[in-house]
Amino acid sequence: MASLKFVPKEERQEQVVLARQLESSANVQLHGATVTSLTLNGCDRLFVSEKAVFNNKKAIRGGIPVIFPQFGPWDLGAQHGFARTTPWVLTDKQTDPKKEVLCTFELEDDLETRSIWNHKFKIKYTVALKKKNAVFDFSVTNTGLAKLEFTCLLHTYFRVDDIANVSITGLNGLEYVDKVRGGATFTEDRDLVTVGENYDRVYQQTPNKHEIRNTIDGATIILEKNNFPDTVVWNPWAEKAKQMSDFGDDEYTKMICVEAGHVSTPVTLQPEQTFFASQSIAVKS
Ligand code: BG6
C-alpha cells in the first residue's frame, strides 16, 4: 500500500501526506515545501517546535525548511530568503507501491519574488520515500537571460532525546565559520562533534556522509548529501531559545539542526544551466 493525500486547509496549512506501507511517511506543507514530519522505522525523525506557527506566512520552526536564494541575513529581504515562506506547487506524484512513493514541488519566480530579487528561476524539489531512506532532490534552473547567483540549503531539524548525548561524525579537520564568534574561522579537532552551548557553525568542504548519533530513540541518523559542500550545525541553546517566539524555552534540548547546503560560496548558473543537489536521511540499522 502506498498513498498520497491532501489534508484540507482547515487542518493547519495545506499539506501532502506520503506513506509507504507502514514503514515510512512524510508530511510536506505547500507553504515553503517544508517537510514537517518524516517517519522512518516507526518514529518521526524531525523536530517541529510546539510553538511553530502555521499561518502560511511565517517560516515553520522545524522540519526541513528550504533555504533559497540566500542563506543567512539578506540585504534584499528576510533572513534565509523567500522559498521557505512562499507557496509551492505540487507538480508530480507517484504512489505506485512497486516503485518509490514521491512528490515533486516547484517554485518559479513571479511578480512577488522579482520585486524582492529580480531574477528568473525554476526550482524542483522531490521528496521520495525509498525502501530504506528518504531522498530529497533539489534543482534550480536559470530561466532568465542573465547570470544567476544564489546560496541554498536544506535546514533539517532532527529530533533528539537529549542534546547532551548527541554527536556528529565527519567534521574533524575541517574549517568552519563560527557565527557565534563574529564569523571567525577555526579548524574542528574533534572526531565526534558535540553541542553544549549556542552553536552556529558553517563547516566547509564536508564529506558526503555524516552520522548523527543518539537522536530520538537513541537512533543513529545517516545523512548523506550530494553537491551540497557545506554542513551547518545549529542549536540556539537556552538564552537564544528564550528570545524566539516560535520556540519553547526548553526545546533546545530536543533538537539539532544539521543542514546540508551550498552556502560558503554561491552557486553560479549561466542561462539555461541547472544546479542539482540532494540529501538522503536514513536510520542506521
Ligand atoms: C541557521 C543559521 O541555519 O538558522 C543561524 O546558521 C540561524 O544563524 C538559524 O539563527 C535559524 O534561523 P531562523 O531565521 O529560522 O531563525
Q: Which pLDDT score is estimated for 247?
A: 98
What's the 266 CA to ligand 1 centre distance in angstroms?
Answer: 18
Beta bridge mates, 232: 202, 259
Q: Which pLDDT score is estimated for 22?
A: 79
**241-252 confidence digits (pLDDT tens):** 999 999 999 999
CA distance 279 to 285: 19
Pocket of ligand 1 (CB under 6 A): 59, 79-80, 155, 179, 200, 232, 234, 259
Q: Kindly report the pTM of this predicted structure.
A: 0.96
Query: What letter represents residue 30's amino acid?
Result: L
Contact residues for 212 (Cβ-Cβ < 8 A; gap 6+): 158, 166, 167, 168, 220, 221, 223, 256, 258
Catalytic residue selected from 80, 119, 155, 262:
155
Do 20 and 38 meet the contact criterion of CB atoms below 8 Å apart?
A: no
281 alpha-carbon distance from chain centroid: 11
Q: Which pLDDT score is estimated for 122?
A: 98
What's the 233 CA to ligand 1 centre distance in angstroms?
Answer: 10
Q: Scanning the structure block, which residue is given the C-alpha cell 525554476? A: 122
Residues of the chain with pLDDT under 50: 1, 9
Q: Which pLDDT score is estimated for 98?
A: 72
Mutate to test the pocket of ligand 1, among 234, 251, 259 (most ligand atoms within 8 A of CB): 234
Q: Scanning the structure block, which residue is given the C-alpha cell 533528539? A: 160
Q: Specify the ligand 1 atom closest to the Cα of 179.
A: 8
All three cell numbers of 277, joined, read 543537489
Q: Specify the ligand 1 atom closest to the Cα of 71.
A: 3
What's the 232 CA to ligand 1 centre distance in angstroms?
Answer: 10
Strands 221-226 and 175-178: unpaired
What's the 72 CA to ligand 1 centre distance in angstroms?
Answer: 7
Indicate if 31 belongs to the active site: no
Protein residue closest via CA to atom 14 of ligand 1: 79
Indicate if 259 belongs to the active site: yes
